[in-house]
Amino acid sequence: MATSTSFQAGTSSVVPIRVQDGRLELLDQRRIPDAIEYFDATELDEICFAIKSMIVRGAPAIGAAAALGLAFEAKRLVLSAAGRVDFFEKLERARDRLQATRPTAVNLSWDTDLVFRFAEKERNSQAPLDVLTGKMVEYAQWILVRYGETCKQIGEYGADLVGQSASILTHCNAGALAACGWGTALGVIRSAHRRGAQLTVFVDETRPRQQGSRLTTWELLADGITPTLVTDSMAGHLMANRKVDLVIVGADRIARNGDAANKIGTYTLAVVANAHKVPFYVAAPLSTIDPAIESGSQIPIEEREASEVTIINDKEICPPGVQVYNPAFDVTPANLITAFITESGVLRPPFHSAIEKALNARKLTP
């Protein structure tokens, strides 16, 4: 049984996803750094709301939370379903509802599919459903723990790239909060810091939801790294003044050719890094690769509500009548990416074959 300490973020004792007294609890990331509050996401309605409203966010964290949410829903379905056939039909609908909450990050579909298929193997067996659902919860917890372990592997490979001294720019939050533990992009920074590397870390504030200024700074401070916060538009100025040695970001979905969707603004950052010959790394677990899509043009880009842009701290910042365009992600083409940092090593171009090889080796069950 996973204990909450497995998912500790650096020196912080705060756990983004926890199973406690038979309930699924999510650290409410909307409230950080103001408050450390947990949201009870044990019911299907609640976990769906938590994902949509970004109480939980970050591709791996969404995937793990949804996997746990589906397993908890399965436990309830044992009590309410009219027999085995009905149980599996309702479980499938629950999976579909979870997968529809957010379209871009692939881990959500991937991890809920894993849990669903794990159960489905017993569709035509005689295995008691309460035993099966207990195993589903354990499997979903393995997915969660596994992300934390994966991130530490990513961290080690990334730390080799970073070396003993570097000035790093990161965008959004690809830390313990987003990735169930150590973090992907922040996992690399964390691992390099633990090795004693001298780091300057520039953090993009990441409008509109400010995951950089609210979450990434908070995680880095907890680890004893003093971040330097900048607005998103400063990247070009920083690089023109040679203040950035490398960029590291996470990813929400990676196509077979290496095109990568990530938080809006990542593409702009990649273009600017390319113009200044600054290496641009994407740190992500292999489960963020979507084997079903060949290129980034097939990745659906979520558009979110206008109020994310127009309201800050409960107050409208612009006059009434303004239209807003608010895509939550963008796609960085593979040719702007120097390398992917994954749990099975650093993948370099040509990405298509490197990704193919890594996918074939990935481990789906304990």
Q: Which residues bind a copy of itself (CB under 8 A)?
A: 33, 202, 204-208, 210, 213-214, 217-218, 221, 226-238, 240, 264-265, 267-272, 274-275, 309-310, 312-315, 317-319, 321-327, 330-331
CA distance 18 to 175: 16
Q: How many CA atoms lie within 13 A of 363 on its CB side?
A: 10
Instruction: Provide the minimum distance between the beta carbon of 264 and a copy of itself in the complex, in angstroms, as a whole number.
Output: 6
Q: Which of 111, 223, 252, 330 is an active site residue?
A: 252
In terms of DSSP bridges, do strands 253-254 and 315-316 run parallel, antiparallel, or are they unpaired?
unpaired
- Give the DSSP letter string of 227-248: -EEE-GGGHHHHHHTT--SEEE
Of 46, 51, 66, 150, the C-alpha closest to 108 is 66
Give the tokens for residue 328: 């939550």
Instruction: Provide the minimum distance between the beta carbon of 131 and a copy of itself in the complex, in angstroms, as a whole number.
Output: 45
In terms of DSSP bridges, do strands 23-27 and 38-40 run parallel, antiparallel, or are they unpaired?
antiparallel
Q: What is the DSSP letter of 356?
A: H
Residue 54: left (phi > 0), alpha (psi -120 to 50), or beta?
left
**Which residue reads 């009870």 in tokens?**
40
Which residue's CB is nearer to a copy of itself, number 37 or number 232? 232
Instruction: Provide the minimum distance between the beta carbon of 12 and a copy of itself in the complex, in angstroms, as a whole number.
Output: 11
Of 284, 255, 330, 51, the C-alpha closest to 183 is 284
Which residue's CB is nearer to a copy of itself, number 25 or number 205? 205
Instruction: Provide the minimum distance between the beta carbon of 259 and a copy of itself in the complex, in angstroms, as a whole number.
Output: 11
Instruction: Provide the minimum distance between the beta carbon of 7 and a copy of itself in the complex, in angstroms, as a whole number.
Output: 20
Contact (CB, 8 A) for 210 and 183: no
The phi, psi pair for 240, rounded to 5°, reads -60, -30
Instruction: Provide the minimum distance between the beta carbon of 200 and a copy of itself in the complex, in angstroms, as a whole number.
Output: 10
CA distance 12 to 10: 5
3-state secondary structure of 139: helix
Which residue's CB is nearer to a copy of itself, number 20 or number 231? 231
Has 290 been annotated as catalytic? no
- Angle at Cα 136 formed by Cα 261 and Cα 81, nearest 5°? 110
The residues carrying an active-site annotation are: 252
